[in-house]
Amino acid sequence: MRQNAKHLFLVISKWLGLFHLARLFTGKALRILCYHGFAFRDEADFRPMLFMTPATFDRRLRFLARHRFPILRLEDALHRLNQNDLPRGATVITIDDGFYGVYREAAPRLQAYGFPATTYVTTYYAQKQVPIFRLAVQYLFWRTALPSIRFHDQAWIRNQEVKLTDPEDNKRATWEIIDHGEKHCNEEQCQRIAEEL
């Protein structure tokens, strides 16, 4: 409901020309566009606030190119900001976490437009080469088509039968497993839980 109200507000603001006005008033400021993940399967359906479809990213890059926003490297933008020498509409693109979709989906698109971007890679996961436990558990519970699941003698979940079609039961089981893993397990144990799931 909140997302719908926000989207409606943005559509009305754009229709009224407020975006154009905002661009005029903030033309000398530095814009920083922050992204996270890029979907190459169904990730955008799973977490639309975390993962973006390649088509949406394409539209945004086209918009920046069409309106000739100067896209700067972060380091250059900060230097020019300190020198009070930013071009009008200066924009920086940053991408957090370093999910695989950044390499597979975002990088080729950025390269096609000649746009630089700064990616913050989570070194822990890059070194460990394992999925993010919390996200993996949430995805598995979201993705399954099973109506219910029965666990047998698992220390990481109390209720052995979970009705996956019941949103409350699904959510409770998801967070019970995540909490157990994050509070009582090391990384290797968390990955074993994810593999069993």
The pLDDT tens digits for 115-141 are 999 999 988 988 988 999 999 999 999
Residue 1 has pLDDT above 60, yes or no: no
Please give the Cα distance from 26 to 24 (Å, whole number): 6
Overall average pLDDT of the 46-68 stretch: 96
Check residue 19 and give its pLDDT.
Answer: 61
Please give the Cα distance from 177 to 190 (Å, whole number): 9
Instruction: Give the distance from CA 50 to its chain's centroid.
Output: 2
Percentage of residues of the chain with pLDDT beyond 90:
75
User: With contact defined as beta carbons under 8 Å apart, do 156 and 111 qualify?
Assistant: no
Residue 17 has pLDDT above 90, yes or no: no
Chain mean pLDDT for the chain:
91
Query: Which amino acid is residue 1, in one-letter code?
Result: M
Banded model confidence at residue 25, pLDDT cuts 50, 70, 90? low
The neighbour count for residue 6, using CB atoms within 10 Å, is 10
Which has more confidence, 21 or 93? 93
Q: Where are the alpha helices (DSSP H) in 16-145?
A: 18-25, 43-46, 54-66, 74-82, 100-101, 107-113, 123-128, 133-143
Please give the Cα distance from 134 to 126 (Å, whole number): 16
Banded model confidence at residue 152, pLDDT cuts 50, 70, 90? confident
Query: Which amino acid is residue 131, in one-letter code?
Result: P
